[in-house]
Amino acid sequence: MQGLRLGTRGSPLALAQARKVAAAIETSQRWPDGWVQIIEIKTTGDKVKDKPLADIGGKALWTKELDRALMEGEVDFCVHSMKDIESVRPSEIHIAAVRPRGDVRDRIIGASSIDELKQGAMVGTSSPRRKAQLLRIRPDLKIVPLRGNVGTRLKKVEAGEIDATLLSAAGLKRLDIAAGTAIPTEILLPAPGQAVIAIECRTNDTRTQSVLTTVNNQITYDCVRAERVFTRTLGATCHSPVAAFCAFEDGDLRLRGQLFSEDGGEMVEERVVFDCGEDQPAEELARSLLAKAPESIRRLFGA
Task: Give me the pLDDT at residue 237, please.
Answer: 85
**Residue 188 domain-assigned?**
no
Residues taking part in catalysis = 84
- Mean pLDDT for back-to-back runs of 10 residues, the chain (303 residues): 87 96 97 95 63 52 87 96 91 97 97 96 96 98 92 94 97 94 97 97 97 97 97 91 97 97 97 94 97 96 77
Domain co-membership, 114 together with 84: no
Provide the residue range defining the domain that includes 129: 106-183
Amino acid identity at 73 = G
Segment (H or E) for 106: strand 106-109
**Residue 169 domain-assigned?**
yes
Task: Give me the pLDDT at residue 2, please.
Answer: 67
**Residue 252 domain-assigned?**
yes
Domain co-membership, 276 together with 161: no
**Residue 70 domain-assigned?**
yes
Question: pTM for this one?
Answer: 0.91
* Cα–Cα distance measured from residue 117 to residue 115, given in angstroms and rounded to the nearest whole number: 6
- Look up the CATH number of the domain holding residue 30: 3.40.190.10
Count of CB atoms within 10 A of residue 131's CB?
23
Segment (H or E) for 126: none
* Cα–Cα distance measured from residue 247 to residue 231, given in angstroms and rounded to the nearest whole number: 16
Domain co-membership, 134 together with 150: yes
Domain co-membership, 11 together with 30: yes
